[in-house]
Structure 1
Amino acid sequence: MSATPKQPTVRSSENETFSICLAEILRAEVNDIPSTSSGLGLEHIGYWLAAQNLALIPVHEPAGFQWAGWWIGRLDGGDGYVVMAGTPSGVAWVPEGVTCGSGAVIEGWVIAPPALSLRARGANQGAVEAIYRFADTGAPGEALKRARLISGVGMEGDRYALGKGHFQSEGRWGQALTLVEAEAIEMLASEHGVVMAPVDARRNVVTRGIDLNALMGERFRIGSVLCQGSRLAEPCAWLQKTTPKGMLRGLVHRGGLRADILEDGEIATGDVILPHASSSKRDRA
């Protein structure tokens, strides 16, 4: 799992120009981008971008950085962020009212897709094959026939609902519920020789017949319960410690989906999983 970039300390007027520059690059509405009224808000922007299969990457040495595409920079002597581009890079666009400065670039951010290829498998309906909950980090999984999902909290009795998750963070999107495809676990064995029980993936719901990657940023139902696909559940170094060697490589971009729960309700094995009829990217502003 990628780390959240360190948040630089800047004035609120500069915070707003970061979102304006990001909207300009993505051809998005500024109001669609999470609020940056308190701090730069890169954590929230980062999760919003993840739902678009994008990541916000800090530039290590911005003064000498070159990038043929668009990127966001802040110049010494300026009072806001600007859009940079080119090799060598220069200021390509300045938000209205911003003095961009004439010194060296002192901060830079690139927007890029972490998953370069998300192969569409075309399956838009599936079913729940198994349900697991984990009482604590490192605790063995408990197989369930039915489970209660609590809006904004998680699966009743699961570590994240109890505030005991390894990557627990208050208010963080996509930590309430995790899903993984049974086909991905089977592919891990057939294509990579890594045999792993579905419970060892430490996801709450094992699915069959649906492309979970296609639900990223979309609303969907598990049975009658409405959920929101927030970001990919990529495998990580922590999970690799408890699973067979080769799991990390084999499940890159197939590790499942992290979701939010939008309604209280109960799910059961065999429940149908379907995209929500009026599904759209959630406005996280």
Structure 2
Amino acid sequence: MIDVDLPPGPHAGALARGFAACLASVTEVPVTDLPLPDADLAHALGAWRTWLAEHGSGLVPIADPVRFQWAGWWIAVVEDPPGPAGGRPAGQTAVAVLAFGTPPGVVLSPQAPALLGRATADLRIREAYAVASLDPVLHRRPTAPDLRGTVAGLAVAPAAEAPMRLLEVAHARAGRGLDGDRYAAGAGTFSPRAGRRPGYDLTLIAAEVLDELAAAGQVLDFAGTRRNVLTRGLDVDALVGRRFRIGEVLCDGRRPCEPCVHLDRLSGPGILRPLIHRGGLRADVLTDGEIRLGAPILSV
């Protein structure tokens, strides 16, 4: 996503212009390149659907946006109180916001910046739309070269929302995770409630991401990420769909570990947005073993 300011225009069309700014942000297209009909939001949505279809995407209505959970972008029209609580000018009854994460939070709010970081569950949503590809084909990932890095940090939390405890040595259990961690015990905030699901044993994040955040003035320590393994010298995103070893432990990279408003609440505010697409990796643990600080990480 990119920052997009509210395009200039009459006050009566502020909602359509706010929606256009959110759509421009998620598609990373200059807002001036979007069709912006001089009409209400309903007419504008028709024009944007045609424009998106020309680029292989669509705008899908969300039936139950209050309960919607999807680790992707979606745009909501929400009711916003005037004044300091919401930040909108008096007389403006609805604003468009861009949401991301599971659970989701607001990552862009051109009409009412005070809503940035708010959980969508706390907002009164009138309608919402997901921006989605029209092509469901799953393309094969190109073969990546061997990947190498090291373990720069280890951490577990004994229960959901409990403080992370830093370790020098961790013991991994196949199909569970790290001893002493809430996900190994099935007690994490997002632990599956019925049966085992892939991707919940172990989480990793790159130290280089935290370095970049610190350089930009957004300081977040390893414990604040609530991930289990801090890596150094490794592109963790490249491990999605690949097996790798952390020390003597064999793991399987499952999917990106995107941030959510829950992390923003525990370690923020302001953590959700800068970690989008940089939140790390979810992995399965395939063998028992020991992981130590400084242990090598190698793709296999």
Normalised-by-shorter TM-score class: 0.5 to 0.7
CA distance in structure 2 between the aligned counterparts of 1:204 and 1:168, rounded to whole angstroms: 15
In structure 1, the residue matched to 2:155 is 132
Unpaired segments ≥5 residues, structure 2: 1-48, 59-131, 138-143
Q: 1:248 to 1:111 in 2, by over 3 A?
A: farther
Is 1:216 the equivalent of 2:230?
Answer: no
CA distance in structure 2 between the aligned counterparts of 1:213 and 1:204, rounded to whole angstroms: 16
CA distance in structure 2 between the aligned counterparts of 1:210 and 1:137, rounded to whole angstroms: 28
Is 1:273 the equivalent of 2:297?
Answer: yes
CA distance in structure 2 between the aligned counterparts of 1:70 and 1:206, rounded to whole angstroms: 35
For 1:185, which of 210, 213, 221 is the aligned residue?
210
Task: Report if aligned partners of 1:135, 1:159 keep a CA contact under 8 Å in 2.
Answer: yes
CA distance in structure 2 between the aligned counterparts of 1:239 and 1:70, rounded to whole angstroms: 29
In structure 1, the residue matched to 2:197 is 172
Task: Report if aligned partners of 1:153, 1:161 keep a CA contact under 8 Å in 2.
Answer: yes
CA distance in structure 1 between the aligned counterparts of 2:211 and 2:146, rounded to whole angstroms: 17
In structure 2, the residue matched to 1:160 is 183
TM-score (norm 2): 0.52
TM-score (norm 1): 0.55
Task: Report if aligned partners of 1:179, 1:205 keep a CA contact under 8 Å in 2.
Answer: yes
In structure 2, the residue matched to 1:33 is none
Greater CA deviation, 244-253 or 141-150? 244-253
* TM-superposed deviation, 1:181: 0.7
CA distance in structure 2 between the aligned counterparts of 1:222 and 1:111, rounded to whole angstroms: 36
The AA in structure 1 aligned to 2:297 is I
For 1:199, which of 198, 218, 223 is the aligned residue?
223
Q: 1:209 to 1:275 in 2, by over 3 A?
A: same
Task: Report if aligned partners of 1:194, 1:245 keep a CA contact under 8 Å in 2.
Answer: no
Task: Report if aligned partners of 1:122, 1:211 keep a CA contact under 8 Å in 2.
Answer: no
Task: Report if aligned partners of 1:194, 1:244 keep a CA contact under 8 Å in 2.
Answer: no
Alignment length, in residue pairs? 169
Is 1:150 the equivalent of 2:157?
Answer: no
Q: 1:137 to 1:111 in 2, by over 3 A?
A: farther
Task: Report if aligned partners of 1:147, 1:156 keep a CA contact under 8 Å in 2.
Answer: yes
Task: Report if aligned partners of 2:248, 2:289 keep a CA contact under 8 Å in 1.
Answer: yes
In structure 2, the residue matched to 1:237 is 261
Task: Report if aligned partners of 2:146, 2:298 keep a CA contact under 8 Å in 1.
Answer: no
Q: Which stretches of structure 1, 4 residues or longer, exceed 4 Å deviation after superposition?
A: 65-71, 108-113
Task: Report if aligned partners of 1:123, 1:209 keep a CA contact under 8 Å in 2.
Answer: no
* TM-superposed deviation, 1:241: 0.5
* TM-superposed deviation, 1:111: 5.3
In structure 2, the residue matched to 1:118 is none
Q: 1:248 to 1:271 in 2, by over 3 A?
A: same
Is 1:258 the equivalent of 2:279?
Answer: no
1:48-59 aligned at under 5 Å gives the runs none
Is 1:249 the equivalent of 2:254?
Answer: no
Task: Report if aligned partners of 2:146, 2:299 keep a CA contact under 8 Å in 1.
Answer: no
* TM-superposed deviation, 1:150: 0.7
* TM-superposed deviation, 1:123: 8.8
Q: 1:123 to 1:199 in 2, by over 3 A?
A: farther
Aligned to 1:239, the other structure's residue is in SS state: helix
